[in-house]
Amino acid sequence: MRFAFALAPLLACAATLAAAPPSPNPSQSPNPKDLVVPDTDLSKARDLVRKLGSELFTEREEAEHDLNAMGRLARNALHEGAHSDPDPEIRARCRQLLPRATAIEMKARLDTFLADADGRYEHDLPGWTRLRSTVRGEWAAFGWTFSTRPQADKAAREMFVEFLKTPGGRRLLTAIGTGENLGPLVAGMKNELYYARFPRGGGASRIPSQMEVAAVLFADSLTRPSANVRNTLFTSVLTASGIAQAAQGTDDKAAALRAVLEAWIDTRTDAYEMYAAMTLANSSHNQPAALRLAVRLLSAPGAPGSYRGQAMLTLGRYQSKEHLPTLERLIGDDGIVTTMTTSVNGVVTRYTITVGDLALVAAVQLTGQKVEAYHIQDRLKGSAAASTSYTRFHIPEESRKEAATKYGWWRLKQALKAAK
């Protein structure tokens, strides 16, 4: 109990330091090498750590007080003691002191980064390396690292600073570097942003900024798929923030935002989030990202038929012949997308639209054929109305097998022609 009560104030202090807004010190050195702990201080801290296991209570207390006063200079010694010292008393006291020293160390490193306004030095910061890699579009092959946007460092730096300024941004970035479980933290931040937009009890509402949303999306893209916590409410925050529209710009800031959005889109695994991400990609006119997600959503386990229907519409909207084989594999899939009801002269008719129907419709349209040739019925035929809804076309149940067979023969003929 005494240990728990002693630990609580230190954790509160560490959380306060980690969440504090950036405040660069004009006299702060921009060189991270200036933060290296001198050997004399490291040796002093290690001696004090050993005294934490002294048989004298007063000596243990004095050593703890002195280590606490050393702040970040004692962090390395405290980390060693907390994780590898054989004395349980030393390990316990080091673990009690370590959070505050770590928080002070993190603040010093962030202040050094902010002081390096020209980006002349390399900084080992939580989240910075990953964000820069994301914005630069880095990828590795044969032991080398390549970048699709090698000139994007300045935009990445500006975005990182913006992340630090947003409420909760420093907390997210610190968690990335300290190994804290990001899943629950990101889920909590999503809830915070939602209730800022739609407050309980009739409080004042505010629309979260684009950088607040981007910081959460970036952290979410780094969580393990199994740690992703579905938050259906967050979709409305994405829409309200205008982040999709901002990502359509032509400047470096918009390009950095697109890179963060793509990283989030490409790491979605839950069917609902995949659907929301595909909608976001379509809203920001990010065709490549929308197509990649549409293909994954088509084969996602447990994805509702309506989601798969929208995914096939996305492939059709962009006339993506590259993904035609994916559509063709789904022809004949009897998964029900929706059930429609029509009434003509008082006669009610119900029919279903299947995944296979939509796949065949999309394949026929992508290959430039007439839908009528495959018994595909268009409920808007003869109407001037335009529709991209997946409910527009359907194939009568008795004609599905014949339509699928006809398309198979057509595909075979095309393959024979190409082989000649």
C-alpha 103, offset from chain centre: 25
Q: Please give the full DSSP string across 201-257, using - where no structure is assigned.
A: GG----PPPHHHHHHHHHHHHTS-GGG----TTHHHHHHHHTHHHHTT-SSHHHHHH
Kindly state whether residue 327 falls inside one of the protein's structural domains. yes
User: Within the chain, what is the greatest distance between any pair of CA atoms?
Assistant: 97
361 lies in the same domain as 338: yes
Which residues on neighbouring strands pair with residue 217, listed in sequence order? none
194 lies in the same domain as 97: no
Cα distance between residue 98 and residue 352, in whole Å: 62
Helix (H) or strand (E) holding 3: helix 2-19
Looking at every residue in the chain, the average pLDDT score rounds to 84
7 lies in the same domain as 90: yes
Residue whose pair of structure tokens reads 């999503």 in the numeric block: 190
Task: Taking the CA atoms of 198, 203, 207 and 208 in sequence, report the sign of the dihedral they define.
Answer: negative
Torsions phi, psi for 299 (to 5 deg): -110, 10
For the chain, what is the radius of gyration of the CA atoms?
Answer: 29
CB atoms within 10 A of CB 145: 10
Instruction: Tell which residue, 175, 257, 162, has the closest CA to residue 219.
Output: 175
23 lies in the same domain as 65: yes
Kindly state whether residue 260 falls inside one of the protein's structural domains. yes
- Give the contacts of 406 (CB within 8 A, at least 6 positions apart): 373, 374
Kindly state whether residue 213 falls inside one of the protein's structural domains. yes
The confidence score (pLDDT) of residue 150 equals 82
Kindly state whether residue 286 falls inside one of the protein's structural domains. no
pLDDT in tens, 335-365: 888 888 877 778 888 888 888 888 898 889 8
65 lies in the same domain as 155: no
Cα distance between residue 331 and residue 161, in whole Å: 49
Kindly state whether residue 387 falls inside one of the protein's structural domains. yes
pLDDT in tens, 21-75: 455 555 688 898 999 999 999 999 999 999 999 999 999 999 999 999 999 999 9
Residue whose pair of structure tokens reads 């790491």 in the numeric block: 267
Retrieve residue 199's tokens.
């407050």
The confidence score (pLDDT) of residue 4 equals 39
The answer to whether the beta carbons of residues 312 and 299 sit under 8 Å apart is no
86 lies in the same domain as 219: no
**From residue 261, how far is each of 132, 256, 289, 325, 413 by CA, in Å?**
14, 9, 9, 27, 42
The bridge status of strand 393-394 relative to strand 138-141 is unpaired
Cα distance between residue 197 and residue 239, in whole Å: 11
Cα distance between residue 87 and residue 53, in whole Å: 7
On the question of pLDDT at 1 being above 50, the answer is: no
Cα distance between residue 89 and residue 110, in whole Å: 32
Task: Taking the CA atoms of 127, 105, 107 and 27 in sequence, report the sign of the dihedral they define.
Answer: negative
- Identify which has the larger pLDDT, 86 or 391: 86
382 sits in the region (left: phi over 0; alpha: psi -120 to 50; else beta) called left
Per cent of the chain over pLDDT 70 is 89
Kindly state whether residue 288 falls inside one of the protein's structural domains. no
Q: Domain total for the chain?
A: 3
Of 220, 242, 267, the last residue of a domain is 267
Of 90, 121, 152, the last residue of a domain is 121
The answer to whether the beta carbons of residues 152 and 187 sit under 8 Å apart is no
Kindly state whether residue 364 falls inside one of the protein's structural domains. yes
pLDDT in tens, 254-280: 999 999 999 998 888 888 888 888 988
Q: Which of 94-108, 169-183, 320-334 shows the lowest mean pLDDT across its residues?
A: 169-183
On the question of pLDDT at 3 being above 70, the answer is: no
- Provide the 8-state DSSP code for 166: S
Retrieve residue 297's tokens.
């959503």
135 lies in the same domain as 73: no
Domain that holds residue 157: 125-267
Instruction: Tell which residue, 407, 305, 306, 308, has the closest CA to residue 366.
Output: 407
143 lies in the same domain as 254: yes
180 sits in the region (left: phi over 0; alpha: psi -120 to 50; else beta) called beta
CA angle 299, 257, 133 (to 5 degrees): 80
Kindly state whether residue 403 falls inside one of the protein's structural domains. yes
Cα distance between residue 170 and residue 181, in whole Å: 15
135 lies in the same domain as 255: yes
On the question of pLDDT at 10 being above 90, the answer is: no
pLDDT in tens, 159-217: 998 998 898 888 888 788 666 678 888 888 999 999 998 888 777 889 999 999 999 99
Retrieve residue 197's tokens.
């937009």
253 lies in the same domain as 375: no
The confidence score (pLDDT) of residue 217 equals 93
On the question of pLDDT at 98 being above 90, the answer is: yes
pLDDT in tens, 360-398: 988 898 898 998 999 998 887 766 555 567 788 889 999
pLDDT in tens, 209-259: 999 999 999 999 988 765 555 566 788 888 888 888 898 888 999 999 999
Mean pLDDT of 109-133: 85
Of 75, 101, 121, the last residue of a domain is 121
307 lies in the same domain as 218: no
142 lies in the same domain as 251: yes
The answer to whether the beta carbons of residues 246 and 257 sit under 8 Å apart is yes
Instruction: Tell which residue, 77, 65, 68, has the closest CA to residue 40.
Output: 77
